[in-house]
Amino acid sequence: MRSRLIGSLLAAATLALASGAMAQESWLEVVHVKAGYVVFMREGSREDRSTWVVVNQEKLARVSLLAESGVSDLKPALNKNPRANYLLALDIRQLTAGSYVVAVDRAPASKVWQAPYLNKYLAINSLTDVIRDRAQAQKAASPARTTISDYYKAIVQVGNRYSKDVTKPLGQELEIVPLNNPGVDAHGQMGEFQILFKGDPLVSKEVSVLCRVLNEGQTQAYQTDQKGRIFFPINQKGVWIVHTAYAHTSEDNSYDWKIYESTLTFTTR
């Protein structure tokens, strides 16, 4: 009976993914303007139309910029206008030609999930190990206490000078690290990315990738190899979104599951 229950839950997870069902998600997106580059946070479904959102800056644990000179704190540069929906602006006069990474860490948020919403979230984010564990513990229909941490990165390309600084890890707990510069060539370059959890590669982890063209796209799923890597062709012009999630149980019983989400975006033209 239990094996049938687990099988049905995993089948439901597969169906949700196959049907393109998406949860309410968020990611960074960089827009090139005359004065420089504006960083927004998008919210909605990665595959469908979405909107810019105003970010509660009190919930941001870290905002940083990775450049050739090192890592700098971007919190002082955050948008101070509460009616504007952009997160921060980078002045072109303060940026030399090259490749940069904007990183945002959202502070952990605790939440009690009711079973229908949690199960849908787990399915959409390919957290099938959590679905399996909850089913084996006969808790598939029970609510769960969770703590969620979100990590965002966006590559900012200034001019035509591409650098390898984007391949340096920033130390996010769950981090998507490019192993080459994905903005160098939008005509068939093979993108190489590594998924790290607390600095160690995540093996056999599902990672979703899409390229949004005119605010729409179709997700492709990839699984990391024994070194935590995925490879996919960068063969379209648009906003690329690489996303993954990871979860583990509590060590001190303060919550049921600790969930991490990580997103990396870059733009090809």
Q: What is the pLDDT of residue 1?
A: 42
CA–CA gap between residue 169 and residue 175 (Å, rounded): 8
- DSSP annotation of 164: G
CA–CA gap between residue 113 and residue 101 (Å, rounded): 33
Residues 144-159 have a mean pLDDT of 95
- DSSP annotation of 92: G
Whether the predicted pLDDT of 163 surpasses 60:
yes
Give the model's confidence band at 21: pLDDT under 50 very low, under 70 low, under 90 confident, else very high.
very low
Q: What is the pLDDT of residue 3?
A: 44
Residues 199-208 have a mean pLDDT of 96
Q: pLDDT per residue over 209-264, tens digit each?
A: 999 988 889 999 999 999 999 999 998 889 999 999 999 998 888 899 999 999 99
Mean pLDDT, all residues of the chain: 88
Direct distance between the N- and C-terminal alpha carbons of the chain, in angstroms, rounded to an integer: 53
Residues 151-171 have a mean pLDDT of 92
Q: What is the pLDDT of residue 253?
A: 84
Q: pLDDT per residue over 54-82, tens digit each?
A: 999 999 999 999 999 899 999 999 999 98
Q: What is the pLDDT of residue 13?
A: 41
Looking at per-residue pLDDT, the higher value among 183 and 20 belongs to 183
Give the model's confidence band at 17: pLDDT under 50 very low, under 70 low, under 90 confident, else very high.
very low
Whether the predicted pLDDT of 53 surpasses 50:
yes
Whether the predicted pLDDT of 192 surpasses 70:
yes
**Across-strand partners of 135?**
none
CA dihedral 37, 41, 46, 47 (to 10 degrees): -60
Q: What is the pTM of this model?
A: 0.89
